[in-house]
Amino acid sequence: MKKDKHQRSYYIIKIAFVMVFLSFFTSCQKEEEDSVFVDEKLQQYFQRFEEEGNFRGRNIDFSLINVEGYLSNTLEASISGQCQHDPNHPDRVLINLTFWNHADDMEKEFLVFHELGHCYLQRAHLDTKDSRGICMSIMHSGASVCRNNYNNMTRSNYLDELFNQN
């Protein structure tokens, strides 16, 4: 009889341990499901942003500061991209799907980096221009203010300014 009692106690403890372990495991699974969404087509640009910022001495880590990324067909035609701030959810980069489908790699990078400048770096627009009217920052508010000159030859300078702005 004592042996049966000990065996029962042993099995109850064992079952309780398994239940605690399973609840811990499923809670970890839920955490993964709640991770932020970045559209597959935007992922490489988020990765580049992280690499370029880290290269320039910034600690860019999307696991610490969550930013979502979506291709959207809900933005007005005149809006190529947008950073949406919501205190209850991660900031969200929206990229106009029509723009995306017609843009080359450099244009896509420029737009995603600009929007991540708002969402991740918390930068505002900066409309300074040089004597020729060329934008000095990737964070300019639009072509009507200054001329965008983001290309392979100027990219490094624009990224230095983006990530080193205090």
In sequence order, the β-bridge partners of residue 70 are 94
Distance CA 95, CA 115 (A): 9
My answer on whether 75 and 123 are in the same domain is yes
**How many domains are contained in the chain?**
2
CATH number at residue 47: 3.40.390
Whole-number CA gyration radius for the chain: 24
Q: What is the pLDDT of residues 58-70, one digit of tens each?
A: 999 999 999 999 9
Give the full edge-to-edge strand order of the sheet including 91-96. 67-72, 91-96, 81-84
Q: How confident is the model at residue 142 (pLDDT cuts 50, 70, 90)?
A: confident
Residue reference for tokens 């640009």: 45
Q: What is the pLDDT of residues 108-129, one digit of tens each?
A: 999 999 999 999 999 999 999 9
My answer on whether 128 and 144 are in the same domain is yes
Q: What domain range is 128 assigned to?
A: 40-164
Distance CA 80, CA 108 (A): 10
